[in-house]
């Protein structure tokens, strides 16, 4: 968690042993999650993993089959959504079509009985925070998707909620706007210091903005850790496969280390204890050399240029396909059919049963 | 360019043909109701009968009150139900749709026969007044009103809007009155207008249940004063047409307001 996030005036959120059953489906299966005051936690996972269900239960828009929700030490289980004091930004555009932008942002304050001048003042302040103070008199259909979500963020924050809930707010936007708004959400969250739960299926989004990222699978929290920790030390096969890209390479584990392509590398907790398995090696951990007489060599299949980096696809002599990520300045010298030497950096890897 | 011109000409011809198809009977009705057959002179005497004839005047008032009452009861009954079903029990939407569309499939005569005993009870409680027809009329207009309101609800994301409002502290009543209703108002107005049009023209229920509404009275007058009956029929058509014009003006006004605000 960053210092800035800690210094906020947020409150602690506790989800304890939450279970949600829909007929035969267990959407949530004993989810326990603690969010520190001012922290931004992202829940990441594939569709149907239960992340949105968890957020909706916290918002009071859905009821848990069992388990409890508490905010700032107060049990909110059973409290209706309208009394929970939370701000929420939805995946779908949710601005009220018959109200202007200013009226939308001021709506929550109106519900709290604030007089017109006070709520308009606060709404204007919030619109300034998201850079839309010039658009107060417009209607939702006169705004772009990105602008609508920024207004939705301003509306959620205007009521000074104890917790901010973001339910895939960027998924309907194009890539460029998405990256801009993602950074803006983080800026605003740090500025306000509000405890935030961000649900997304986009790992880049989660890793970029969150203090901690929780990876969910089949209603359970597989792992929750700081982005770098999660990326470097995935403790389960699912997390390793879901977050980032991996090569599954044959490895032999003995005494807490594994040998991959002839190089000894440390193994992560949760790995196979001993014997032969598959090491999950990140593409950037593969080193390509022009020495084709090296211990292990491969043939270049293709090179995908991605800007400053490139992905090089390789065929090993045993027929296995690998993917390496190298600087484009290096990759530019490679062509399909070239022979290259392949080794791995001695970074910790997760080794799973083959 | 040539093709575009010929298409425009075709469109204009079709427009004139359709306008004539609808307007000619109305013009004929106006001609018939204002012409003295023997002399060919113009007179509004038969139109005056709409106001002077006590029984006809009373039946017009009854039909107008019935139209308003039916529209009000339909809106009060149907709008909250449909919103509630969409938000809380979406699984019941098929059943509600089936029930609402059912009167379309059952002949009016069958409904009247089936409802006769119920109407006896209604008359027992509210007295022998034609306003008791409100109940069967609400059933009669259900399919048309349902379609209008359903289309309006389908045009907005009711669930997300209501959840957004709830998360901002709005009660269910506020969600209904300040969020959903303003966004489906065109559909509700359209349902109300269709209701008024149907009630003003309804004959079978009123006639078979022995109530004197405007269409029943006009049918009776037609046997003795054909020109006055045609004047009454034309007046009711013009009233409904006026209502539709007002509705389309209001709808357009709402859209223009939204579009021009910046």
Q: How many CB atoms are located within 10 Å of the residue A320 CB?
A: 13
Structure-block tokens of residue B154 = 């389908």
3-state secondary structure chain B: CHHHHHHHHHHHHHHHHHHHHHHHHHHHHHHHHHECCCCCCECCHHHHHHHHCHHHHHHHHHHHHHHHHHHHHHHHHHHHHHHHHHHCCHHHHHHHHHHHHHHHHCCHHHHHHHHHHHHHHHHHHHCCCHHHHHHHHHHHHHHHHHHHHHHHHHCCCHHHHHHHHHHCCCCHHHHHHHHHHHHCHHHHHHHHHHHHHHHHHCCHHHHHCCCCCHHHHHHHHHCCCHHHHHHHHHHHHHHHHHHHHHHHHHHHHHHHHHHHCC
Nearest residue on chain B to A109, alpha-carbon basis: B168
Q: What is the mean pLDDT of residues B97-105?
A: 92
Structure-block tokens of residue B146 = 């349902």
Cut 0.90: pTM above it: no
Task: Give the pLDDT band of residue A6 (cuts 50, 70, 90).
Answer: very low
When CB atoms are compared, the residue of B161, B163, B169 closest to A112 is: B169
pLDDT greater than 60 at residue B46? yes
First to last CA, chain B: 37
pLDDT greater than 80 at residue B261? no
**Mean pLDDT taken over chain B:** 88
When CB atoms are compared, the residue of B157, B160, B166 closest to A81 is: B166
Query: 3-state DSSP call for residue A263?
Result: strand
Structure-block tokens of residue A197 = 């739960």
pLDDT greater than 90 at residue A19? yes
Alpha helices in A13-87 (DSSP H): 51-59
What span, in angstroms and rounded, lies between the C-alpha atoms of B80 and A331?
64
**Sheet-wide strand order for A297-305:** A286-289, A339-344, A297-305, A309-316, A321-327
**Pairing of the two strands A247-254 and A257-260:** antiparallel
A82 vs B179: CB contact, 8 Å cut-off?
Answer: no
CB distance from A112 to chain B under 8 Å?
yes
The predicted pLDDT at position B254 comes to 61
Task: Give the pLDDT band of residue A79 (cuts 50, 70, 90).
Answer: very high
Query: 3-state DSSP call for residue A6?
Result: helix
Least confident of A98-107, A259-268, A296-305, B47-56: B47-56
What span, in angstroms and rounded, lies between the C-alpha atoms of B99 and A132?
47
Task: Give the pLDDT band of residue B253 (cuts 50, 70, 90).
Answer: low
pLDDT tens profile B75-95: 999 999 999 999 889 899 999
When CB atoms are compared, the residue of B169, B174, B258 closest to A141 is: B258
The predicted pLDDT at position A3 comes to 37
**Mean pLDDT taken over chain A:** 90
The predicted pLDDT at position A120 comes to 94
Report which of B150, B137, B143 is spatially closest to residue B188, judged by C-alpha positions. Answer: B150
Q: How many CB atoms are located within 10 Å of the residue A136 CB?
A: 18
**Sheet-wide strand order for A195-200:** A86-89, A163-167, A195-200, A40-44, A212-217, A220-225
Using a CB-CB cut-off of 8 Å, the residues of chain A touching B168 are 82, 87, 107-108, 111, 155-156, 159
pLDDT greater than 50 at residue A2? no
Phi, then psi, of A279 in degrees rounded to 5: -90, 135
């Amino acid at each position: 968690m960053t210092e800035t996030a800690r210094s906020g005036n947020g409150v602690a959120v506790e989800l304890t042993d939450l279970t949600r059953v829909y007929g035969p489906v267990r959407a949530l299966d004993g989810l326990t999650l603690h969010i520190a005051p001012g922290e931004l936690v992202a829940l990441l996972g594939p569709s149907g993993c239960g992340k949105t269900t968890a957020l909706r239960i916290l918002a009071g828009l859905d009821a848990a089959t069992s388990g409890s929700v508490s905010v700032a030490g107060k049990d909110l289980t059973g409290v209706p959504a309208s009394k929970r004091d939370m701000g929420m930004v939805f995946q779908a555009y949710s601005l009220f079509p018959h109200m202007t932008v200013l009226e939308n942002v001021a709506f929550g304050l109106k519900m709290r009985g604030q007089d017109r001048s006070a709520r308009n003042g606060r709404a204007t302040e919030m619109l300034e925070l998201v850079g839309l103070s010039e658009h107060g008199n417009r209607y939702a259909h006169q705004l772009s998707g990105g602008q609508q979500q920024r207004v939705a963020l301003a509306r959620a924050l205007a009521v000074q909620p104890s917790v901010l809930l973001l339910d895939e707010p960027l998924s309907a936007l194009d890539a460029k706007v998405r990256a801009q708004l993602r950074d803006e959400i983080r800026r605003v969250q740090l500025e306000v210091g509000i405890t935030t739960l961000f649900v997304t299926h986009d790992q880049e989004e989660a890793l970029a903005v969150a203090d901690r990222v929780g990876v969910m699978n089949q209603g359970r929290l597989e792992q929750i850790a700081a982005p770098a920790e999660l990326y470097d030390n995935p403790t389960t096969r699912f997390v390793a496969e879901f977050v980032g890209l991996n090569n599954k390479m044959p490895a032999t584990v003995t005494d807490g280390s594994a040998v991959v392509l002839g190089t000894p590398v440390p193994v992560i907790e949760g790995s196979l204890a001993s014997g032969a398995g598959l090491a999950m090696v990140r593409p950037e951990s593969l080193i390509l050399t022009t020495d084709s007489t090296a211990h292990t060599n491969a043939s270049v299949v293709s090179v995908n240029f991605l800007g400053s980096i490139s992905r090089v696809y390789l065929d090993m002599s045993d027929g296995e396909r690998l993917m390496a990520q190298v600087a484009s300045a290096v990759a530019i010298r490679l062509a399909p059919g070239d022979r290259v030497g392949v080794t791995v950096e001695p970074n910790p890897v997760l080794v799973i049963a083959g | 360019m040539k093709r575009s011109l010929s298409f425009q000409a075709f469109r204009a011809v079709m427009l004139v043909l359709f306008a004539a198809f609808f307007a000619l009977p109305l013009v004929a009705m106006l001609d018939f109701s204002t012409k003295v057959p023997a002399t060919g002179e113009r007179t509004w005497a038969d139109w005056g009968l709409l106001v002077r004839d006590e029984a006809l005047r009373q039946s017009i008032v009854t039909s107008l009150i019935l139209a308003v009452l039916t529209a009000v009861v339909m809106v009060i009954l149907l709008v909250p139900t449909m919103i509630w079903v969409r938000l809380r029990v979406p699984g019941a939407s098929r059943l509600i749709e089936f029930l609402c569309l059912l009167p379309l499939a059952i002949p009016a005569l069958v409904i009247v026969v089936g409802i006769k005993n119920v109407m006896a009870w209604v008359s027992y409680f509210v007295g022998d007044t034609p306003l008791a027809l409100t109940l069967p009329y609400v059933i009669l207009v259900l399919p048309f009103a349902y379609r209008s309101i359903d289309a309006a609800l389908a045009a907005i994301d009711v669930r997300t809007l209501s959840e957004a409002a709830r998360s901002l502290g709005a009660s269910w009543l506020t969600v209904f009155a300040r969020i959903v209703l303003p966004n489906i108002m065109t559909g509700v107005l359209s349902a109300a207008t269709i209701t008024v049009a149907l009630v003003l023209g309804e004959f079978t229920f009123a006639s078979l249940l022995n109530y004197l509404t405007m269409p029943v009275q006009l049918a009776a007058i037609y046997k003795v004063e054909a020109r006055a009956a045609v004047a009454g029929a034309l007046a009711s058509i013009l009233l409904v047409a006026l209502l539709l014009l007002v509705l389309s003006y209001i709808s357009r006004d709402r859209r223009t307001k939204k579009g021009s605000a910046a």
